[in-house]
């Protein structure tokens, strides 16, 4: 009996097993990649609304100068837990959900390679976030030391929630590592015959590379949170200068994880827009192989730029120059990607469906985030911008109009495939336009606040920043409420409506470039002949 036969019989057994189970048991025990993908997506959306509610508290406090709604300690708890939930609870599980749903179908596999591991890697997540959120109701409150949990704020001066925080982060990390191993094994071992690596859809490629990044950096995070734990409760002094430790070492270890982590949150986004843009441009993706190499280069470079978060810690001039140039170098493969997306749309027969609108917004606004990142890469300039709202504007342009918009593009693109029904087009356009306008009202003025010197993570501010902050808060509340439209679209779509076609996004030319892998060569001077 070959391994394949064993695998098939195992799957038949599992499917049969799933078929008999109903209600909650079906979801608890399922090994079906589509069910697990759906659970990841719902979980991430619930976490997104939870983290969003915390952002609303932050913006309500900052609506005008002075302390009005919450005390500074609770404000810091909000900023910390908002960051942790959005990174580990909303963006990453959403991408993992999309990967679970789509990768087996894109490579022609019956399921993920390790279906039970898949189930477990999802089900430990709700427990991790329950532990994190439980800390609000115990002792002196939730973590208040920022999502980067710098020592000694998270060790010597922590409010007693460090143990909860560390335990929660460990469980999230275990989930991520298991999910990543599953993706790597599935892609390497279960591709359909004839699908070589350079014929894989770009969505699969970006996830393949992201999974390697996860396996490489999650143990670093596990190591640094364990050191924080022992410093806090077991008398070690990794980060305590009095005992021979060094708080700056914390930053080095944390950012060695943290910088690849931000690419873990954006590479899958590149895969999604590389899938949607060719479809709605009715053209194959421009420069497939350069996209693959660009993704791999970004992943490699992400490991050697970590100290650009630390220019103000006082490193040698050579160190500053090295990290400055390496950071600027990352702009090159990223620029290649943006060029390829624009070239794909160039002279294409574009139709502006909702996934395409989110993808185009992604390309434009992510580029703005990239430019502000290039500004922060310059050492002397970073001295001025460090820890101001300019940095907040930068990474929210990358992670909200970048990662989040691409998740919406993917969700709208695949919803008809997932549910069998077409989503409400008018409502989805409302969601897009409300989100687009409010997100720019929310984050664009932050650039000016930061350049004028407003520090981040502080609940009060000087009178000169009042007008901008009022507009930013209005944008924040508008953006938060706009996301409820998306919830309405999804629920309406699941309940039924217009049946979706077998080829949902069939183009006007009768072509559907759903797989952005190399297509037959022609110049597109005139439409290709269709048999």
Percent share of the chain, pLDDT over 70: 91
Active-site residue, 237 included: no
Per-residue pLDDT tens for 368-418?
A: 999 999 999 999 999 999 999 999 999 999 999 999 999 999 999 999 999
Cβ count near 49 (within 10 Å): 15
In this prediction, residues 269-289 reach a mean pLDDT of 94
Active-site residue, 495 included: no
* Catalytic residue (choose from 121, 154, 176, 473): 176
Active-site residue, 175 included: yes
Rounded Cα distance, 268 and 261, in Å: 12
pLDDT of amino acid 503:
77
Active-site residue, 456 included: yes
* 3-state SS class at 529: coil
Active-site residue, 210 included: no
Cβ count near 422 (within 10 Å): 16
**Largest interatomic CA distance in the chain:** 77
Per-residue pLDDT tens for 40-95?
A: 999 999 999 999 999 999 999 999 999 999 999 999 999 999 999 999 999 999 99
Q: What pTM value is reported for the model? A: 0.91
Active-site residue, 26 included: no
Q: Contact 323/308 with Cβ under 8 angstroms?
A: yes
Q: Contact 431/486 with Cβ under 8 angstroms?
A: yes
Active-site residue, 309 included: yes
Q: How confident is the model at residue 18 (pLDDT cuts 50, 70, 90)?
A: very low
* Catalytic residue (choose from 33, 59, 82, 386): 82
Cβ count near 195 (within 10 Å): 18
Active-site residue, 259 included: yes
* Catalytic residue (choose from 175, 295, 388, 482): 175
Per-residue pLDDT tens for 222-263?
A: 999 999 999 999 999 999 999 999 999 999 999 999 999 999
Active-site residue, 111 included: yes
Does 421 score more than 70 pLDDT? yes
Q: Contact 274/266 with Cβ under 8 angstroms?
A: no
Tracing tokens 């005992």 back to the chain, one arrives at: 243
Active-site residue, 386 included: no
* Catalytic residue (choose from 33, 59, 282, 337): 337
* Catalytic residue (choose from 456, 457, 470, 492): 456
Q: Exposure string (b/e) for 465-475, b if CB count within 10 Å is 16 or more? A: beebbeebbeb
Which residue, 380, 398, 407, is CA-closest to 331? Answer: 398
Q: Cβ neighbours of residue 220 under 8 Å, at least 6 residues apart?
A: 253, 256, 257
Does 526 score more than 90 pLDDT? no
Mean pLDDT (the chain, rounded): 92
DSSP string, 57-99: HHHHHTTSSS--SS-HHHHHHHHHHHHHIIIIIIIHHHHHHHH
**Phi/psi of residue 99, nearest 5 degrees:** -65, -45
């Amino acid at each position: 009996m070959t391994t394949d036969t064993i695998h098939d019989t195992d799957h038949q057994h599992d499917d049969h097993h799933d078929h008999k189970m109903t209600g909650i048991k079906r979801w608890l025990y399922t090994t079906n990649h589509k069910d697990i993908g759906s659970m990841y997506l719902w979980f991430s959306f619930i976490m997104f609304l939870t983290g969003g509610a915390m952002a609303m508290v932050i913006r309500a406090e900052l609506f005008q100068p002075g302390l009005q709604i919450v005390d500074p300690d609770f404000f810091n708890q909000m900023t910390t837990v908002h960051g942790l939930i959005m990174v580990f609870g909303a963006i990453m599980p959403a991408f993992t959900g999309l990967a679970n749903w789509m990768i087996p179908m894109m490579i022609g596999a019956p399921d993920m390679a390790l279906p039970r591991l898949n189930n477990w890697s999802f089900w430990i997540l709700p427990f991790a976030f329950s532990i994190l959120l439980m800390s609000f109701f115990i002792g002196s409150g939730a973590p208040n030391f920022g999502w980067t949990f710098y020592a000694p704020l998270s060790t010597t001066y922590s409010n007693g929630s460090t143990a909860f925080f560390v335990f929660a982060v460990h469980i999230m990390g275990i989930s991520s590592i298991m999910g990543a191993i599953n993706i790597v094994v599935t892609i390497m071992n279960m591709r359909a015959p004839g699908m070589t690596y350079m014929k894989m859809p770009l969505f699969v490629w970006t996830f393949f590379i992201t999974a390697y990044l996860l396996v490489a950096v999650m143990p670093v995070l596990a190591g640094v949170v364990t050191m924080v734990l022992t410093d806090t409760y077991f008398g070690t002094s990794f980060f305590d200068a009095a005992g021979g430790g060094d708080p700056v070492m914390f930053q080095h270890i944390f950012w060695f994880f943290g910088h690849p982590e931000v690419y873990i949150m954006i590479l899958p986004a590149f895969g999604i827009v590389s899938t949607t843009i060719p479809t709605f441009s009715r053209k194959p993706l421009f420069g497939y192989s350069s996209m693959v190499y660009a993704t791999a280069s970004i992943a490699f470079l992400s490991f050697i730029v970590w100290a650009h978060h630390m220019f103000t810690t006082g490193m040698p001039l050579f160190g500053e120059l090295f990290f400055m140039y390496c950071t600027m170098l990352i702009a090159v493969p990223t620029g290649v990607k943006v060029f390829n997306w624009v070239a794909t749309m160039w002279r294409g027969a574009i139709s502006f469906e909702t996934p395409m609108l989110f993808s185009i917004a992604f390309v434009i606004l992510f580029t703005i985030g990239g430019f502000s990142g290039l500004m922060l890469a310059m050492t002397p300039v970073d001295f001025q911008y460090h820890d101001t709202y300019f940095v907040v504007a930068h990474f929210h342009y990358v992670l909200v109009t970048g990662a989040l918009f691409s998740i919406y593009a993917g969700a709208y693109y695949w919803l008809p495939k997932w549910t069998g029904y077409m989503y409400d087009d008018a409502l989805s356009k409302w969601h897009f336009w409300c989100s687009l306008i409010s997100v720019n009202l929310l984050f664009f003025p932050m650039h000016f606040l930061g350049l004028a010197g407003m520090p981040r993570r502080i609940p009060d501010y000087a009178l000169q920043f009042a007008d901008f902050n009022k507009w930013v808060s209005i944008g924040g509340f508008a953006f938060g409420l706009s996301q409820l439209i998306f919830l309405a679209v999804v629920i309406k779509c699941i309940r039924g409506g217009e049946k979706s076609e077998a080829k949902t996004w069939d183009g006007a030319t009768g072509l559907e470039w759903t797989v952005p892998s190399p297509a037959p060569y022609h110049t597109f001077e005139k439409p290709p002949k269709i048999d």
